[in-house]
Amino acid sequence: MVVGGIDNGERSKSRTDPPHAAPTMLLLAVDFFNALEKINKKYNLKFTLRAGVNVGPVVAGVLGLKRFTYDVWGDSVNTASRMESNGLPGHVHLSSQMYEMVKHLSDVFEFSCRGNIQIKGKGEMITYLARPRIRERAAE
C-alpha cells in the first residue's frame, strides 16, 4: 500500500490532494513494473504485478501503545484496494476520478476504458486500465 499527497490539513479546506500527487502515484507504478521486470530477468522468474489507484480523502493515524503503526482508512482506500483486486497483471487499474486527474499522461501510459465493472461494496463503476508505454523513466 502506498499513499501519496497526504498533507498536514492546511490545504484540506480548499483541495483534496496536492497538485502533483495523482500523477506521481501513477508514475511510481512505472518504477514498480521496471523493478519487477529486472528481478524476473535476474532470477529467471515470471512474477506479475497489478496495481489499483484511487484519489480522495482519507483518515490517518497512529495506532498502538507499545508498538506503533501508522495506517489510513476510508472509502478512498477501500476503492483503491478494490481497483487492485479487480485489476489485470501488468496494468494499473484506475477509478474514473483518478483517470480524470492523469489522462494527460498519455505519452507515458496507454489508457483504456474497461466500462462498467461490478466492484464489491461499490456496485458498478466505470474504470480504466493504464499500462506503461515506457520501460524506464529518467530519474527526477
82 is known as an active-site residue: yes
* Annotation marks residue 120 as catalytic: yes
Q: Which of 15, 38, 103, 120 is catalytic?
A: 120
> Could you tell me the three cell numbers for 140?
527526477
Beta bridge partners of 109: 132
Task: List, by residue number, the catalytic residues.
Answer: 82, 120
